[in-house]
Structure 1
């Protein structure tokens, strides 16, 4: 099952995001095939202001664990995080 992890950064936290980014990317890579895709949301100036990560797992608890162990989360970057089950219906390469 797929889960979306949608996180919004706290205001004025770009420096924290940039400082934590290498650890975040290393963590995401360490999850291997569990991560299907991901990337930052951008503000009106093209600067990162949040994150979208789509992960595959057996249950929402696993997705919550992934989110809680993210270095961005541990650094206190996010104002909010929402995790939801998701069905990849359109242009899913596994259904081609």
Structure 2
């Protein structure tokens, strides 16, 4: 089951996010085969990271919560409380989207 996970950054954690990013990316890579999409959420100016949006296949909510508990940004205190919902993709993903 795909879970959409909305993770907003705590105020004042931009430097911490940069420091922990290599660990975060390595941890995400452990789910690369189950990942529908993942990436940073940006401010309206497109320059400031304000959080993350992940869509990952997990067997159930308990597995999502267990995985998030060990997620490096979570452990370091970058993220506020996650918002987790099951997700059904009703629109086919387009290759090469968005256009360059």
Q: Shared topology, TM-score over 0.5?
A: yes
Shift of residue 92, structure 1, vs aligned partner: 4.6
TM (norm. structure 2) is: 0.85
1 or 2, which has the higher helix percentage? 1
Gaps of 5+ in 1: none
Mapped to 2, the partners of 1:18 and 1:6 lie a distance apart of 19
Matched with 2:14 is 14
Is 1:43 equivalent to 2:43 in the alignment? Answer: yes
Q: What RMSD, in angstroms, separates the aligned Cα atoms of the two structures? A: 1.4
TM (norm. structure 1) is: 0.88
Gaps of 5+ in 2: 95-100
Is 1:3 equivalent to 2:8 in the alignment? Answer: no
Q: What is the total number of aligned residue pairs between the two structures?
A: 93
Q: Runs of at least 4 residues of structure 1 off by over 3 A? A: none
1 or 2, which has the higher strand percentage? 1
